[in-house]
Chain A
Amino acid sequence: MQTILGIPAPLLFGQLLIGLINGAFYALLSLGLAVIFGVLNVINFAHGALYMMGAFVGWFLLTHLGIGYWPALVLAPLVVGAIGIVIERTMLSRLYDLDHLYGLLLTFGLALIIEGLFINYYGVSGQPYAPPQALQGGYNLGFMFLPAYRGWVIVASLIVCFGTWLLIERTQLGAYLRAAVERPELVRAFGINVPLMMTLTYGFAVALAGFAGILAAPVYTVSPIMGQNLIIVVFAIVVIGGLGSILGSIVTGLGIGLVEGLTRTFWPEASSTVVFVIMAIVLILRPHGLFGRPRE
């Protein structure tokens, strides 16, 4: 069998694939966090809980209403996005004039409520969710075996991430958004409804988390605690990439996934801590993150 640095090649590529898939979820989630932070100046602690909700909406649709994966892929983000809009309108929007820390604390409380409710009804063991018929099976790439669904996860995540990037960096709407980040009063003076834009931004970014959730449902088990530890890794990724950089959060998300995969191959015990070690090193060398600019 072919080996690379003493590791069998299929094992190495297998771990890299797992890393890439984790990275795809990191990218979707850290992108959402970066967008919310950029526009609302809020760190959304509830992001992990909403991601979990996305997966549960998909599971609920399938087991209780018989609605399959493909419609759920659209419906789950819509439901989660709608919940996000309610959260922003009724609670978050009251805190914009205060210290940004209150936004973090509010969403932390929301995360506790959401996760507590789900644990109460579904326990922590998790529910299975089968991948759709069309994506079962896999391809033999010669050097490794690629399950079809996992390939789809990577492709779908990349399309959505870069679509979002294009939307924000290359369209008229994105230009308004970026302008509203810099000078909200001036943009309002031009007759653009900034509060509405903030609401929709939060709804959209939260819908991204919901999308990641339904995408993750067939890969991991659907469990109330699936977003709990993930969100902290994503926080670290956002710090590494630098807050406020859209492309930075996507690239860092995928990169950290790969690094974790490599670490799992060569030093399994360190795989869950490596991201935090990288964060500490980045903070010492580049305090504003790899892609971030100093902002005040």
Chain B
Amino acid sequence: MSEAVMNLRSRGGRRATSWILAAIGLAIIIVAPLIGLYPVFLMKLMCFALFACAFNLMLGYVGLLSFGHAAFFGMGAYVAGHAVKVWGVTTVLGIFGGAVVAGIMGLVFGAIAIRQKGIYFAMITLALAQMVYFFCLQAPFTHGEDGIQGIPRGTILGLVDLRNSLAMYYFVAAIFLAGFLVVYRTIHSPFGQTLKGIRENEARMVSLGYPVARFKVLAFTISATLTGLAGATKAIVFQTATLTDVHWHMSGEVVLMTLIGGMGTIFGPVVGAGIIITLQNYLATMGSWVTVVMGTIFVICVLTFRRGVVGEILARLK
């Protein structure tokens, strides 16, 4: 009885804490560019934070490591860039298109890869993403090594001019928050609970009659769609879409962000993206040392810091 009360109280407490955290987060997002932080940097951060959150949906909540998420990120960027620049569609529609294409790819990749678990799954997604990389290297619309450059930012429905970087910032912030909310709702829904059940004990979920494969493919599709959304938004922010976005280094980067921030936590990927993007910003002049530093952080995280920043904080609070 008293235990139940305790549980209830702590759950209520946790809910209040998350509301406070959400309010603080929202306030930070609104105020950040006004207190002198560079908007382009913040936009980059939010794009990657959304990318990492979408990725974490698979790794943290289904327990499947996808090593091919760069394919969705890059294709989202390419599709949005091409649609806006060459076909002249509006920015919003271009970004939407990028997300949809990435989602369809996620459905197909998921259907192929989902039969396998663990290491196998990681290798298969990596190989499929490499196929996309070679496609992007050769397909005419991606312009090979040059990439798509000079993508116009356009306007929101002809009302707001996105060339203004503050307007662009709040547009990206809205996309990020919407994507983050989708992830949050997915995790805290019966669907999300089922995913966690699959992560913890798949055989039991099968015996309970859940169509496990279908749940996993759906989660993978949601994750890919949001990743495409992040990539498409990034393409509009930086007005370029290049091969870097589809290369497997990008897949590795998002794994690192999630790992360092704390996989299986909601805010972990955001924190991780913040750390990695900031670091890259500071190390930008150091050339290929960046890769060495990233690799070193990877090794240290795996050996000694597996819970990540947020995971570690949560573990201390318990």
A287 with B115: CB separation less than 8 A = yes
Q: Judge whether A116 and B292 touch: CB under 8 Å.
A: yes
Main secondary structure of the interface of A (DSSP, over half): helix
Binding site for B on A (CB under 8 A): 37, 43, 91, 94-95, 98-102, 104-106, 108-117, 119-120, 229, 232-233, 235-236, 238-239, 243, 269, 272-273, 275-277, 279-280, 283-284, 287
B296 CB contact (under 8 Å) in A109, A272, A276: A109
Give CA–CA (A288, B69) in the complex, Å: 23
Partner of A100 from B116, B119, B135, B137 at Cβ < 8 Å: B119
Smallest Cβ-Cβ distance to B65: which chain A residue: A101
Known: A104-B65, A113-B299. A239 touches B112 (CB 8 A): no
Given A110-B299, A287-B116, A239:B123 Cβ within 8 A: yes
Task: Render B117-130 as a binary contact track against A, CB cut-off 8 A, 1 for contact.
Answer: 01110111011101
Q: Are B127 and A236 in contact (CB under 8 A)?
A: yes
A112 and B123: CB pair below 8 A?
A: no
Q: Number of contacts between A and B (CB, 8 Å)?
A: 118
A236: B residues at CB distance < 8 A: 123, 127, 130
- For the complex, give the distance between the alpha carbons of A101 and B67 in Å: 11
The 5 A-B pairs at the shortest CB distance, nearest first, are namely: A109-B298, A112-B295, A116-B291, A113-B295, A276-B131
Contacts of B118 in A (CB 8 A): 99-101
Nearest-Cβ distance from residue B268 to partner chain A, whole angstroms: 15
Contact B255 A105 (CB under 8 A): yes
Q: How far is the CB of B291 from chain A (nearest CB, A)?
A: 3
Residues of A within 8 A of B296 (CB): 109, 113
- Docked complex Cα distance between A101 and B290 (Å): 24
Complex alpha-carbon distance, A110 and B120, angstroms? 20
Q: Which residues of B lie under 8 Å from residue A98 when comparing CB positions?
A: 306
Asked whether B289 is an interface residue with its Cβ less than 8 Å from the other chain, the reply is yes
Interface residues of B, dominant DSSP: helix
Of A37, A95, A112, the residue contacting B298 (CB under 8 A) is A112
Q: B299 — nearest CB in chain A belongs to which residue?
A: A109
Q: How far apart sit A106 and B299, CA to CA, in the bound complex (Å)?
A: 5
Q: Which residue of B lies closest to A240 (CB)?
A: B127
Smallest CB–CB gap between A246 and chain B, Å?
18
Contacts of A100 in B (CB 8 A): 118-119
A232 touches B248 (CB 8 A): yes
Taking a contact as CB atoms under 8 Å apart, the answer to whether A43 and B119 are in contact is yes
> Is B158 part of the binding interface, using a Cβ–Cβ cutoff of 8 Å?
no
Taking CB atoms and an 8 Å cut-off, the chain B residues in 276-290 that contact chain A are 287-290
A222 to B220, CA, bound (A): 39
User: Could you list some 23 contacts between A and B, CB below 8 A?
Assistant: A91-B299, A94-B303, A101-B119, A105-B259, A105-B302, A109-B297, A113-B292, A113-B295, A115-B291, A116-B295, A119-B288, A120-B287, A229-B130, A235-B126, A235-B127, A277-B131, A279-B127, A283-B112, A283-B115, A283-B116, A283-B124, A284-B112, A287-B115
Among B119, B130, B135, B289, which residue has its beta carbon within 8 angstroms of that of A104?
Answer: B119
A102 touches B126 (CB 8 A): no
Provided the pairs A235-B127, A236-B127 are in contact, do residues A104 and B122 lie with their beta carbons within 8 angstroms?
yes
